[in-house]
Amino acid sequence: MVHPKNISIADYQYNLPNERIAYQPLEQRDASKLLVNKKGKWEIDNYKNLYRHLPAPALMIFNNTRVVAARLLFYKSTGAKIEIFCLEPASAIDITTAMQQKGKAIWNCFIGGVSKWSEDLVLEKTIEKKSRSITLHATFIRKNSNHYTVALEWNDDTVTFAELLQDAGKIPLPPYIKREATKADEDRYQTVFAKQEGSVAAPTAGLHFTNEVLSNIAASGISTDYVTLHVGAGTFLPVKSATLEGHEMHQEFIEVNTGTIENLLAHLSRHVIVVGTTSLRTIESLYWLGVKAVLHPHMNSQDLIVLQWDAYELEEKKIAVANALQALLNLLKAEGKTQLITKTQLLITPGYQFKIVKGLVTNFHQPQSTLLLLIAAFIGKEWKEMYEFALANDFRFLSYGDGCYLEP
């Protein structure tokens, strides 16, 4: 078995024609095509009928993160435009807490047109909010290795940062969609179950679900639950190194209730199905957090985090899934917590041994991406046959595209 650090990203290339990329959503969410593997053959259906392909009884997990309008546009007196793309809080606080800050927030950001922004210039923007105006100021703090730190201050301490972005920002479409976000995108680039604000990209597998689809799934004997992984801009970063050893996986905040961990424990002998790679990484991360809780029983939950190579370095410990989840649950309850909030950097590559997830609903992903590596880990070398079949049968790719239901 090749160690994940030595995997060549060139082996996960395929030709994605421009015309196969979905730049606009379909008019109806659940009209997207669905590719399903049935007895070794690929079958084409659509999302309205997803429930017919799922094993029951089962537990289906969704990511209920909500995309925030993270793009803030400022204009200098000369008319020059500067765009601030808010990525994550610059301090150690979690995103949910950061979204509730009032009056001031310090965030790590991408900056478009940064050469136009002299460090002594404070940018200003006026936001009309119902019966009053709010003035927003942006101050350049520092340049980091691949982003910038910016202080954002506004003159109304009754308004949260989440509310400010809602009124002042724009939805951040994926970078390959070279158009401005429209009013329609504000709705369609959110899932119908989006709740916890903090993502700068949608958990796109969930975009296909409607209330009708969810009702059909429930009527089929499948229960549902939710986790939160706040999708960062790193999800779009390509692997630029020849092997994975040179790639640093991005960290993302996850939030999981203790009730969800109990739900997983109750369904381990059945099917646990996840919607999207973000949900999959969250659920699998729970196992590795539990392993650390077993190995370090005196560790605080706030110190638990999943690092990039943990899954491959801790695999030899051979800790049972039920034991790991129970240890994590016991730790949280001992601390009087009903929710786990931490970060995961879990990189899932071919060779990864899945611990909890037995079914995956997902979109079709970019060549040479960590998301494609995850798909290859889940279904093996068959990934290439599946992608070639989807291309030959006019499936739409990437965020607004079609999807598939997979079992390992």
Q: What is the pLDDT of residue 233?
A: 77
Please give the chain's pLDDT, 408 residues, in tens.
678 999 999 999 999 999 999 999 999 999 999 999 877 789 999 999 999 999 999 999 999 999 999 999 999 989 999 999 999 999 888 999 999 999 999 999 999 999 999 989 999 999 987 778 999 999 999 999 889 999 999 999 999 999 999 999 999 999 899 898 998 999 999 999 999 999 999 999 999 999 999 999 999 999 999 999 999 877 777 788 999 999 999 889 999 999 999 999 999 999 999 999 999 999 999 999 999 999 999 999 989 999 999 999 999 999 999 999 999 999 999 999 999 999 999 999 999 999 999 999 999 999 999 999 999 999 999 999 999 999 999 999 999 999 999 998
For residue 65, the cross-strand partners are: 196
Q: What is the pLDDT of residue 130?
A: 73
Whether pTM > 0.85 for this model: the answer is yes
Q: What is the pLDDT of residue 38?
A: 79
Q: What is the pLDDT of residue 121?
A: 94
How far is the CA of 222 from the CAs of 192, 210, 215, 249, 271, in angstroms?
18, 16, 10, 33, 9
Domains located in the chain, CATH noted: 4-66+190-406 (3.40.1780.10), 70-170 (no CATH)
